Amino acid sequence: MKLVVISHTPHYKNKNGVITGWGPTVREIDFLSELFDTVVHIAPLSETPMPESAIPYASHKVEFVALRPAGGFGLWKKLGILVSIPGNLKIILFQIRSADWVHVRLPTNLGLYVLPLLSLIPDKHRWIKYAGNWIQKNAPLSFSIQRWWLARNWQRSFVTINGKWPQQPEHLLSFENPCFTEREMDEAKQVAAQKEFGNAKIICFVGALDPAKGILQLVRSLGQIRRKQLIEKLIVVGDGLLMDELKRISKVSPVPVEFLGYLPRHAINAIYEQSHIVVLPSDSEGFPKVITEGASYGCIPIVTDVSSISQYVIDGENGFLIKDNAPESIAQAIDYVLESDRNLEMISSNATKMARRFTFERYVSRVRDEILSSLIKN
């Protein structure tokens, strides 16, 4: 069988000319290739330098087909999306023609014209992954349109989403986003079992440095924490629009802040290994892999109560939830953990157990049994 994947995941060429892409998506598609003879991933090829988070495909079954990158900030870049549509549609249609399955990863600007296209091609099996917040209020217009379309199933497919919701239609399947293999989980668990919470704590943030992720509020919250002496430092992994502003603010922060930029997977794991708390105060998320990555290494998650996060992170049991990402709310949550007489080792252990649901092996098994096999039987 041939699978065609359509996504907005940026790809790059390394110094040897090898195609690379954002690590988590590349790994997921590598594992999905176990279920198919051929996988074609159609996605934008960027001309910008390759970040440390990009990796090459490990599976020989995966072929990359480049789309013209489009979008960004500013009117002209937005208009560039319209200019790219005819050429991108031609590439997509050519690849779909020989596909048995078509898998689209949303939300993205591509979805606005790919979803209608799929509804006009009845002879292909379709599976959509909506990785965003399924119940997001005040979502961007393009996201709202895609969610509305998917809920009505006009593309006639299964749709995997984050979390389980009241009156959820049968074609919407609640799936966990995989982050590690079972072996990696076992290795992380050994590290977590050795972690001690009696000394000063290391806090980490991993993600894009943009307003939606709440990193600005996190750095600003450091000055409002009462027990600052119990924090060794905040480690920030990632890059983005706010980097310069964050560095400026951190110069007067009472808590040391380290900015490491983008890092390869092994280096991120090393950050989780030394950290005690992972904070992700996002405005909106689907279910970020950072939570389960950190939890696998025994990092106690402090996260905003958005989307499906509270279906996995139980406040005070395997992590802590905050009602919003205002600096005072973040500071209050961090202080609660620092001052808590609870057994932080036990909460850390519970977080590690929760993360076991997010393995690649479990994900591939569910795709095979609940999507591929179901449609094949029909």
Instruction: Check which CATH number belongs to the domain holding 55 and give it.
Output: 3.40.50.2000
Residue 237 and residue 304 in one domain: yes
Residue 86 and residue 33 in one domain: yes
Residue 25 and residue 142 in one domain: yes
In total, how many domains does the chain have?
Answer: 2
The pLDDT value recorded for residue 76 is: 55
Residue 192 and residue 137 in one domain: no
Residue 136 and residue 34 in one domain: yes
Residue 157 and residue 208 in one domain: no
Residue 170 and residue 213 in one domain: no
Report the candidate in 288, 272, 279 with the shortest Cα–Cα distance to residue 192: 272
Which residues partner with 304 through β-bridges? 322
Would you say 105 and 129 are in contact if contact means Cβ atoms under 8 Å apart?
A: yes
Residue 125 and residue 68 in one domain: yes
Q: CA 34, CA 335: separation in Å to the nearest integer? A: 45
Would you say 127 and 371 are in contact if contact means Cβ atoms under 8 Å apart?
A: yes
Which residues partner with 301 through β-bridges? 278
Which residues partner with 158 through β-bridges? 127
Residue 159 and residue 281 in one domain: no
For tokens 């076992």, the residue is 186
Report the candidate in 133, 161, 159 with the shortest Cα–Cα distance to residue 286: 133
Residue 9 and residue 93 in one domain: yes
Identify the domain containing residue 53 by its residue range.
2-176+359-377
Residue 100 and residue 152 in one domain: yes
Would you say 187 and 180 are in contact if contact means Cβ atoms under 8 Å apart?
A: no
In tens digits, the chain (378 residues) has pLDDT values of: 999 999 999 999 999 999 999 999 999 999 999 999 999 999 999 989 999 999 999 999 999 999 987 766 566 566 667 888 999 999 999 999 999 999 999 999 899 999 999 999 888 999 999 999 999 999 999 999 999 999 999 999 999 999 999 999 999 999 999 999 999 999 999 999 999 998 899 999 999 999 999 999 999 999 999 999 999 999 999 999 999 999 999 999 999 999 999 999 999 999 999 999 999 999 988 899 999 999 999 999 999 999 999 999 999 999 999 999 999 999 999 999 998 766 899 999 999 999 999 999 999 999 999 999 986 554
pTM of whole model > 0.75? Answer: yes
Residue 211 and residue 352 in one domain: yes
